[in-house]
Amino acid sequence: MKQALIILLVFTAGQSLAQGEWSMQQCMQYAVEHNHEVKRAELELDNYKASKTGAIGRFLPSVDASIGAQYNFGRAIDPETNGYTDVSTFYNGYSLYASLPVFDGFSRIHALKAAGASTLMGRASLRQKQDQTALNVLQAYTNVAYYEGLVKMADEKVQETELLLKQIRLLEEVGRKSAADVAQVESQKAEADYELTRQQNLYASAMLELKKTMAFPMQDTLLLSVRNVRNRLVACNRRDARTLSPSGTNSESATYGLGLVQELNPELQAAQYQVQASKHEWHQARAAFYPSLSLSAGLNTTYYHTLHSDAGGSFGNQFNNNMGQYVGATLSIPLFNRLQTITSIRKAKNNYRIAQETYKQKQLELEKLSREAWQDWQGYLKQTVQMVEKVEADSIAYQLTKRQFEEGLSTAIDLRTTSAQLLNSKATLLQCQLMAMVKEQLVRYYRGEAIWTE
């Protein structure tokens, strides 16, 4: 029993450890599945599908059945003699009615096309919400990764200043350093502790923002595998940055990245389908000028009985004998409806033009944003290479200054200055690496790629 319990605990711990860390892709997929705006977009898409089903149903005949019962007392009309009577009677009627529209000025056809375009627009809007949610999670995830990196740097700085403080105190005991030097290093140690606390608070705030964006329970623990992601980004950024020419992007990359926004972008697709839907709604409104033709057919029968009397036929005989059928055609010609048709057509035409202008504006905006994202991506790749060199140089300068300080050839102020410069360079390098990742995903989004799927 004890061995089985140990095996179960080890298995459970290994399983929880494997499922405990969340990658960036998993966070984006979780947010897409649980985000409230995405769920609203899914319900709106279902409404568009329902409207399309209703538009298809307008081509089918309508069938109605009715049953009526009437109790007459006092002076009434006798249905058998069609004369007046003053006895109490019971009247029961049955009818079955079918109607089929034949021509309505192509209104149903345009309604179906408008519903189909609206459904496609709903799909594009849903994907746009999904991609926007994924981008928001990506930004929040990179903020967590950035502040986690700063916390790590601050913690290393605290450990380094602790070691330096011990060395300075030993040098003070042998007379090689003064009390002022010790006080300055103690000040650096206090500043490092403060910076660590500040970065830990910023990291906690970034984690809360990520949970909110993901619609993740705030009370649950969310462990992120940002270290592996950051290491992978460093390698990718160095590789991509080495492919850049010294003067900027090459012509092939520029053509691929700075071209017109592709039609696969969901935000642009939604605007395009809105244009199509508005166009068919305009034509549907114009169909009100045409006459409409419909066919109808029906069956009806009645049952009549005089109360407190045995006279009259049975229910079955009357139901069959009183059966009647009819077939009819109705032609409706619109003449004047108080200018309502003209008003509807005018509004529908204006909505069509508004949709066209919105599409053109959205196209220009996305092209501008796509170019900006491409330029920012290339810029951050180049900055990453430059910051790698700067971090290496600042690290050498700090080590030399530290050695000179230990030998009494430099002051604590020089050591503090080079240390702050190195820390700032490392933070800037991390920021460039993460921003390059964000801009790369933006470029993929503007090209119409799904950024939250594998």
CA neighbours closer than 13 Å in the CB half-sphere of residue 248: 6
Q: What is the mean pLDDT of the chain?
A: 84
Q: Indicate whether 322 pLDDT > 80.
A: yes
Q: Which pLDDT value is given to residue 146?
A: 92
Instruction: Encode pLDDT of 196-224 as tens digits.
Output: 999 999 999 999 999 999 999 988 988 88
Distance, in Å, from the CA atom of 56 to the CA atom of 51, rounded to the nearest integer, reads 9
The contacts of residue 43 (CB under 8 Å, 6+ apart) are: none
Q: Indicate whether 107 pLDDT > 50.
A: yes
Strands 223-224, 21-22: pairing is parallel
Q: Which pLDDT value is given to residue 262?
A: 58
Helical (H) or strand (E) element with 410: none
Instruction: Encode pLDDT of 366-398 as tens digits.
Output: 888 888 999 999 999 999 999 999 999 999 998
Residues 124 and 266: beta-carbon distance below 8 Å? yes
Q: Which pLDDT value is given to residue 78?
A: 67
Helical (H) or strand (E) element with 1: none
Domains of the chain: 24-60+104-290+334-446 (1.20.1600.10)
Q: How confident is the model at residue 86 (pLDDT cuts 50, 70, 90)?
A: confident
Q: How confident is the model at residue 265 (pLDDT cuts 50, 70, 90)?
A: confident
